[in-house]
Structures are given as structure tokens and as C-alpha cells.
Amino acid sequence: MLFVTANEIGIFALNREKRIVAYSLFPKDPEEVLRRLKDVKEGRRIKELEDVLTELMNLRVENIVTDIPFKDENFHIEFKKDLKVGAELRRNLRDIAVKVGFAKNHEEFTRFLSKVQILRTREKIRRSVKKDKVAIQAISALDELNDISNRFIERLREWYGLHYPELGKKVKDHEKYSKLVSEKGHRENFEDFKGSMGIDLDEPDIEAVKEHATVTYGIYLLRKRLSDYVEEVMNEVAPNTSYLIGPHLAARLLALAGSLEKLAKMPSSTIQLLGAEKALFRHMKGKGRPPKHGILYHHPSVINSPKDRRGKIARIIASKIAIATKTDFYTGEFRGKEYREDMEKKIKEVLGE
């Protein structure tokens, strides 16, 4: 059995004793190196990997444990994301690079690694700056899917209700309801359909409503996946704000503000009223009372509190959001836990608990 691993200077194969048995070096060009590392990480076969595998074939190696995701019928391959042997090799890369002739000396290797790290870091900064736009698209798509799924399920319940109205009362969960109809079709396929008050339907009529149920169920599944995805992206884009008020509400604020930068630069009084622009304009034209909260209304601590406290609570939440978004935008460090504890303490005080 051999270990195969990729690092900044090439592809290496090591035996159980951690001795290098085969390797193929990358060209000494930082941009080229990063491209190759990206390629292997995404499962593409690069020349250096081919080189090493050919050598392993010649050595009659059968089993490979590797941190590179690749397929090859000639070997039995086990993929391990955190390969200890690979990590250890990387820790000694300065010496190894000189030993295998990748760099003339430590000095040359340091210069090379510095360039690699500069490129990597610039790329990381570039990506994290743009990813808020991705989060905004995803949350908008999710909100649309919410609308669509509501309309689809309403139609499905009404339509299938003609045939088997009792099911609607029994199964309140929309996702489950659409799944059941899409699987069973005719009410005869349910165990206790007898005595149903609905009308009988022919095969083509059943087929049509069944198909609608399948699409509806599909929308629910898609919505769930998209919701998980929003959570994932938001934890990356704005970990503090996401922890503070939940990733979805955080994403909606982001969408209303337009970007993380804009949100981070907003005073908390503006954040408190994000999403209440219409009410605010109405008030400024002399109609209606001033709004106390915008989209923050949907925060559980606001919506579940007595009406006369909501404004105060929204203000507390908004002022913590103003801090959390700044941390997300300017440093990226994680302090969400302490922010939330502090916010919850203040809310409790307002509620007199």
C-alpha cells in the first residue's frame, strides 16, 4: 500500500515508512502550481499525477490511500481528505523542496512559497468580497420558491380534494401531502379511503393531478436544498450576523441592503427599518404612524413579544446587527456567540424576565 499526496511542489507517493518512492514536480511557476492544485482537487488528471501513477504501475502497486480525488481502474483507491502523511510532508516542504531539486536552496523556496501564498490570499479576498452577491441571489430564489410552493400546494389540495377530501384533513404537512399523492394516485391506493365523500375520477384525470403532485413535491425538495445552501453560503459570507439572527434573516437583510459592504456601513437605525421603506414613505407624507421595524419584524423575539415592546426589541437587535456586520466585513473573525448572548440578555431585560 502507498500514499499519494499533492502539495505546492508536486505529486508524491510515499510508503508506510513515509519514505518517498515516486514523485513528479510541478513547474516552478506559482500561478501554474495553483492551477494544477485546483485541477487535481476537482478530480482532473494532470500530467504529474499520470507520471506518478505510471511509476506505481511499474512497481506493481495495487492499493493507494490518497488525498487527491481521482479514479483509476488499475488500483484500489481509498480517498482520505486529511491524509496525515501528506500533512507531515508539507510541514517539511522547505527541506524536501531542496532535496528533490525543486529549489536551489531555502531562500529560493521561501521566495516561491511567498508568491504562492500572495496569490492564494488575493484570490481568497476576492472571492469573499463577491460571495455576498451569490447569497443575495440564493435568498431571493428561495423566497420565490416559497411563493411558488404555496401556490402549487393550494392548487393541489383543492384539485385532489375533489377526489379524496379526507386526506387533506389527515395530512397537514404540505411536503408529505404532495409526496403521498404523487406516489399513490387513485384514492383506492390508500388504506382507509372507504366512505370518502369525494367524486370518482378516471385514469387520465388521476394521471394529471398525480403529475402536478410530483412537481409540487419536487419544489419542496428543491426548497429544502436551497435553504441549506443559503445557510452554508451565509455562514461563509457573514458568520457573525448569521449566528446572531439566523442565516435566512441575515440573508434577507443583505438583499435589502444590496451588499455586505453597504450593510456594514449602515447605522443601526437604518438597519432597524430595512424592509419598511413603504411605511416610512407613507409616514413622511403625513399618513400613518412611523414604522418601528422592517424585516426584523420576523425575528422570533420581535414577533413573539407584546406589541408595545417590539420597537424597543427591534432596536436592540438592530444595534447588535450593526456590530456583527462590521465584524463580518472588516475582520471576518468569529465573535457571534458573545454578540448573541449580550443581545439576548438585553432583550430579557426589556421583557422584564
Ligand X SMILES: C[S@@+](CC[C@H](N)C(=O)[O-])C[C@H]1O[C@@H](n2cnc3c(N)ncnc32)[C@H](O)[C@@H]1O
Size of the residue set binding ligand X (CB under 6 A) = 2
Chosen from another protein, ligand X, none, partner binding at 104 (C-beta under 5 to 8 Å by type): none
**3-state SS class at 23:** strand
- Nearest-approach distance from CB 254 to ligand X, in angstroms: 23
330 scored as a contact of another protein (CB under 8 A): yes
- Per CB under 6 A, contacts with ligand X among 181-220 are none
Element holding 163 (H helix, E strand) = helix 106-163
Region from 52-60, 124-132, 133-141, 148-156 binding another protein, contact rule CB under 8 A: 124-132
189 scored as a contact of another protein (CB under 8 A): no
Element holding 37 (H helix, E strand) = helix 30-41
Distance CA 224, CA 218 (A): 10
- Nearest-approach distance from CB 45 to ligand X, in angstroms: 37
Q: State the binding string over 32-71 for another protein (x if CB under 8 A, else -).
A: ----------------------------------------
- Per CB under 6 A, contacts with ligand X among 299-338 are 331, 333
Strand ranges (DSSP E) for the chain? 2-7, 10-14, 20-25, 63-66, 76-79
Q: State the binding string over 31-50 for ligand X (x if CB under 6 A, else -).
A: --------------------
* Complete DSSP assignment for 207-218: HHHHHHHHHHHH
CB 60 within 8 A of CB 70: no
Region from 9-17, 40-48, 104-112, 247-255 binding another protein, contact rule CB under 8 A: 104-112
Own/partner pairs, 270-274, CB within 8 angstroms, 24+ separation: 271/296, 271/318, 271/321, 271/322, 271/325, 272/296, 272/314, 272/315, 272/317, 272/318
Region from 19-27, 125-133, 159-167, 186-194 binding another protein, contact rule CB under 8 A: 125-133
- Nearest-approach distance from CB 330 to ligand X, in angstroms: 9
In order of 91, 170, 177, 325, 326, the CA distances from 183 in angstroms are 55, 17, 10, 46, 49
Q: Interface residues with another protein (CB under 8 A)? A: 7, 87, 90-94, 106-107, 110-111, 113-115, 117-118, 121-122, 124-125, 128-129, 330-334
